[in-house]
Amino acid sequence: MDSVHVSTHQSILIVDDDPFMRELARTHLEGAGYVVAMADGGADGVAKARSLAPAVIIMDYAMPGQSGTDTLRQIRADPDISRTAVLMLTAWSSDASRLDAERLGATWLEKPLSGEALIDAVGRMVVS
């Protein structure tokens, strides 16, 4: 059964070093009615999160330079964005990394992920 998605016009920030993954997620989310911004790494992601105050941040776990977990720690330490919902996506799965992200308040999903699963996960995180 296909999910029905109602446009929320809420913003989503995608933080991923892989341009293909950013574009793929953007396409699915914009098709579901979300406003999407993108960042190509952790430092850029924190800066954009501060300026945009998105409803949800979708972040890759494994990024060069500043990892997703390090980026998440910076977000949680900033009082202006610390309560932002974060969806951590990864193709690198271990219990330790998942637990670390979950301790920091992120929802953990493994790649590959269908567009419908991504939209459903984001929909559950968006605060109306």
Show pLDDT as tens, one digit a residue, over the chain (128 residues).
Answer: 344 344 446 899 999 999 999 999 999 999 999 999 999 999 999 999 999 999 999 999 989 999 899 999 999 999 999 999 999 988 776 777 778 888 888 998 887 888 999 999 999 998 64
DSSP strand E in the chain: where? 11-15, 35-39, 56-60, 85-90, 106-110
Q: pLDDT tens, 65-100?
A: 998 999 999 999 999 999 999 999 887 767 777 788
Which residue is associated with the tokens 């776990």? 61
Query: Which stretches does DSSP call E strand in 16-116?
Result: 35-39, 56-60, 85-90, 106-110
Question: d(Cα 31, Cα 84) in Å, to the nearest integer?
Answer: 22
CB atoms near residue 103 (< 10 Å): 11
